[in-house]
Amino acid sequence: MSNFFAIIRHSFSYLIATSLIFSSFISSSLYAASSPTTAITALDLPIAETLIELGVSPVIISQRQSFNFWTGGTYELSKIIEAGSPLPNIELLQQIRPTRTLLAPWQSNLEPRLASVSPVTIVDSYPYSGDGNLWERLLIFTYRLGQLVGQQGEVNHLINQTDTHLDSLKELLRNDGTPLLFVQLWGERHVRVFGENSLPQAVSQRLGIDNAWHETTNQWGYSLVGIEALLGIDARLVIISSRHPTDFEGQLTQNSMWQHLPSVRRGDFIVLPGTFWFAGGLPSAQRFADALVEAIDEP
């Protein structure tokens, strides 16, 4: 009798396992069949986060952990699919069958590799590859993405919502007129300093805040300089977190260069969390503004 029940239990377990495998297979098949009408590959963070805000789902990205870090875990996992890291897995993309692939100009070398999976478009209005006012370029970039994915109505909503949100933050901001100096630590003796063409400057201008850095910057809006380049600047220091852990507090207290900065001597420097990409789109701009205003207004 005990053997009989053992056989029954074994058979029942087998049936459950088989049904789970079959159900997983059916789900994958249904997803593969439906994905051509929804999935879009976007391996650049500003493109990917903007597409999600425009209602595109799922968006195929690379490096999920990095994406989640720089977006502050804002987006549901169901809205993103990792296609490999650092290079996309072609076999996986062929199974998902995205409708199209959108690449930033700096990713154009991937076009031949990805063209076998879906039509590829290099986003020519990419905000960090042109001249002129960055905020205006961000708006043009957002409109262009809306055209490419047929979400023009959502573009208007995102832009209007961003404007309204920044205006409300500006009203809340207790700004005493002190200029800010936006930096990101780069090793023990160097920093990225954000100025012209950078997201931090574009957003701070919208909030009525002056940026203390006026030197030449690269296409991403920052200068890579030694700490000594900051010594003559009297501004409140804003440290933007890095993807890789950095002992900034240890550096500020142990490196004599940092001790000569007015903001460090006063102890009024700000540290912002990594919830935004420093060269991101409008979604990153909103998260940066949120973090900055909260830090400035913190007692």
Query: How far apart (Å, rounded) are the C-alpha atoms in residues 104 and 132?
Result: 18
User: For 260-277, what is each residue's pLDDT tens digit?
Assistant: 888 988 889 999 988 899
CB atoms within 10 A of CB 153: 11
Domain-embedded: residue 261: yes
- Boundaries of domain holding 22: 2-36
SS (H, E, C) 133-168: CHHHHHHHHHHHHHHHHCCHHHHHHHHHHHHHHHHH
Domain-embedded: residue 89: no
pTM of the model: 0.84
Burial class of residue 97 in the structure, from the number of CB atoms within 10 Å of its CB (0-12 exposed, 13-18 middle, 19+ buried): middle
Domain-embedded: residue 173: yes
Domain-embedded: residue 272: yes
Strand segments, DSSP code E, in 48-149 are 59-61, 80-82, 100-103, 120-122
Domain-embedded: residue 155: no
- Among 75, 93, 71, which Cα is nearest to 84's? 93
Count up the domains in the chain and report the number: 2
- Among 108, 114, 107, 110, which Cα is nearest to 92's? 114
Domain-embedded: residue 227: yes
Domain-embedded: residue 57: no
Cα 208 to Cα 76, 165, 186, 291, distances in angstroms = 33, 14, 28, 16
Q: What are phi and psi of 42, to 5 degrees?
A: -145, 100
- pLDDT per residue of the chain (299 residues) written in tens, 0 to 9: 434 334 334 443 433 333 333 333 333 333 443 334 489 999 999 999 999 999 999 999 998 988 998 998 889 888 999 998 778 999 999 999 999 999 999 999 999 999 999 999 999 999 998 788 999 999 999 999 999 999 999 999 999 999 999 999 999 998 788 899 999 988 778 899 999 999 999 999 999 999 999 999 999 999 999 999 999 899 999 999 876 655 565 666 667 788 888 898 888 999 998 889 999 999 999 999 999 999 998 86
Domain-embedded: residue 285: yes
The CATH number of the domain holding residue 235 is 3.40.50.1980
Residue 68 neighbours by CB under 8 Å, 6+ apart? 75
- Among 165, 145, 163, which Cα is nearest to 155's? 145
